[in-house]
Each structure stands twice: as structure tokens, then as C-alpha cells.
Structure 1
């Protein structure tokens, strides 16, 4: 049975801050649009426990901020589908085809805001112990380890923030840092270094985890001396960077070696009418505020492009 073809003006793929912001602007512009998100609306924001650097909020829970963005978009008339996964995408200057489980969409313009996923820890036993001691989302899984020893691997803001969050549950949090410095914000680092539940291990690298059904120890190696030893741990949370969700678009769009979409200051890609916004785009800073800015610019430029397409008919 063939799928129904739907001709729309704008397709937004991905419902994080960039995608939801684009949806708000598209809805205000009365565009015939659709936002597709097959994971969780709000993206990585929803898995953030507390956000303290978003203008207008001294502090706000990530889930609450995501809910507010979604609510605003839907009240303005944005159409959001959380249950129809994208199977394939064909993007050219003259035609855009997005096939989902249920439909074939032919939009005039596309905004890609699929975001990025956490990089997996390079451990021999990573797959064996995924969700059995190896995790990547403290908000999702931290409560499983009440009064346990939890390790955190990473050196940026995410690692620092999640280590602080995990102190709500853990008896002890061990930060394993392969260098002798962190790259996060000074205020957050100060809080980590002065927290009674957190131990920082500089110049150590986690090289494997071991256990029976669940992990009970980690193997760490000193990056200066080469010394290797075991330490007790009940879980490890990895924050060593992200990988963009761009597999669907690699045949049509210009990507960096790391897989991020190359787009200009107007979020335009190498294909006319196709835009990239948020963490999926190659850029220096990946913050909620920069994602929101990307979504704004992409939607405004897409609206101009769509209006021009109407005139050409």
C-alpha cells in the first residue's frame, strides 16, 4: 500500500530548542508546516536538571523549559508529530522529499535541527554494561544509584554539571579527568572542587569497567606515569562530547569530517531551501541560547525563501 503524499511549505526535523524556536516563528508566519521528532521534544534540554544561563530565568528545570517551548509553539498553531520517524531524505535545489513511517512529505523548505547524541565511552566492555552501570544521562538514570559510588568522565560543563547533580543520590562522585584541567565555567568548577561528595582525579583515564551483571569496578590509567589500577564504582556517566545526527543527510549536504552540517550565518546549507540549526550545525559554541538563535534565523530565512517560491508560481 503506497504512502500518502503531503505537500507542505516547511518541514522541521528535530524538536530541540532550535526546532521548537523555528516552529514558533513558522507558526507565527502562518506557514503550512510540520515538526517531526521521534525521540523526546526538548532534546538535551529536557535531560538537564537545572539551567542557570538562559535569559529570563535565574534557574529553571530543563524539563520545564522544554515544556514551555512546546506549549508556546503549539498554542501558536505549530503542528508537531512525535511518533512518525523519518526513514529517508532526498534534498536537492529543486525538490525535497522526506519519507516517514506513515507519509511522504514534499516540503518547499526544510530546517534540520536533529541535534547530537553523547559519544560513547571508548571502553572494551561499554556495550556489555550499557544501562547496567554505563550511562550518559544523569537525569534519566542517576536515581538508580542511591548511596552508591558514581564516576563521571569528561572535562566540560556537561561533566561538571552532571557531577553536581549526581551528588543528590551518590555516596561519592569521582570525576575522572585525563588532563590536569577542566574546560568548564569557573563558577561551576569552583562548586565541583569544593563539594564534599566529589573527588577529582586529574591525569587519569578510564580504560575499562568490569563486574558480573553490573559493573562494580573501573580500570584507570595514569596519563602521565602509565600506572594502572582498579577503583570501586557502581556506575559511570560519560560526557566526552557529542556526535551529530546527520546520517540521513550525508549524501546531499556538505558535512565536516566530524559529521556536522556546514551552514552559513543565515543557516543556509549547500542546498537551496535547506537549513541547519542548533547542535547539528558546525559552529564554535553549542548552548541553548545559540540553538534558539539558529532556529530563529533559519525560520525567518526559510519564510523568505517560501514566499519567493510562491511568487515564482
Structure 2
């Protein structure tokens, strides 16, 4: 097995929204903001090369939305999925599976693209299956009013229309499930219903793709919960459970949205689980 970080692009989000009720005087220590209160955000995906499979976890925003839409998110840098794939000798047509932690636009928008004449949409990875789970799919395609702006039908419905949509079966009475793709999945419901956090055994390590359960290293304190979460009290419990496991078992936490920290480990302290070490992907994957 080989792992590769795929940088799909960087953007900015409002720091207050990213930290909910936490005062700026606290969160700006780890995530400094600009004059507009915006903080740096990454859309760091993960490519797994495992035998005949080439699995891409999440796909970023993509590029099919309007300039007005992207104007809200202050895109910066020149990263893209195609540039990142090419760096490691791959093409998007090589991808066999696209695993989506959840269907918010900044996690799945790159899965679907305009067709050639811009009259409709098509899969951006024409040879891949797209993986979600049935409960989250229903949640996303029948969205609540709070999340409706994040679940864009043009990102989601074409996956099903392509005939390449597949579901991970949900666990019965537990939050952990072995997936058909060879890695474990931790299910979390605080951010959105049935978000999936992949846990990949790589050599002697467990690499956890944290998605929006832990957006950045600055979100390690349990009360530091995003304003975007639909069930923040549940996020508190899920974060505490997962971070305690991570500290107990020395998990390596791959941070999708942290523009400045790629992988971290955590440890137990008197104040709870806190940052232990930081690594680049190159440190861990090479």
C-alpha cells in the first residue's frame, strides 16, 4: 500500500463560523485571521494505492460553480487534484474508487464536472465508483434548511445517475465498520448525519482521515466545535471518544482542512487530549 496527499485547493472561511461559540481571543492563537476575520483552510484529500485499487478520499470543491460562488470562499494558491495526481504519476481516469466522508460541497464538489458542452454534468472520475452510505445519502438529498446550502444537487445526483454509486453498510449498534475498501470507518453524527472517518492501517500505523470531526489542529480542545455542526453537543462526545482513542493508540490524524498542519498525533494531558507532534505527509508516507 502507498499513500499520497492530494491537495485539491485552498480557500478561506470565517474564523467565528469555524469555532462557533469560542471567543476569537482563544482561537486566533492557533488559527490567525486576516482583516476580514477569514482563516486559511485546505482541502487536502488522500489517495490510497492498494493492489489494483486507487482510492481517492474526498475531492474538494471542484471548479464548476460560478465565480460569484467561489468569491465567497477567497480561493488562494494553485493546488488542484490534477496537479497533485500528476505529481505522483497518476491521472484522474486511473481512480477506481472515490470515497466521500460526507456530501458537503467542499468535500465532494470535485467528484462531478461539467460535460464537454456545459449542458449537463458527468463524473469527473469516469472509471470510479462513488462511495457514500444510505443514511447520509438520504440526509443530503432531502436536506434540512440548515444544511441545504451545503448539499448542492449538481454535486450529488449525477453520481446516482451515472450508475456508479455504492453504499457502505452501516454498523449495527456500534460506530465502527470495516468497509468494502479495506479500511475501517468511524461514523460520526455531530457535524452531519453519518459522516464517515476512514481509519487506514499503513505499515505499523493507523492513519485517520479526520474530515470535519477535527478540521484543524486548533480544534483539539473538546469545546472548540464549528458553528456549522448540526448537533454540536453530539460532536463534543464524538470528539472526546475519538481523541481519547487516538491518544491511547497513537493514531496519526490526517487533517483535511488545516492549511498549515498535515498530520498530527495527540497525547493525554491534565487539560485533556492535546497536540503531541506534527508531521508532514512526506515524513509519514515515505
TM-score range relative to shorter protein: under 0.3
Larger radius of gyration: 1
Question: TM-score, normalization: structure 1?
Answer: 0.26
Greater RCO (CA < 8 Å, at least 6 residues apart): 1
Question: TM-score, normalization: structure 2?
Answer: 0.27
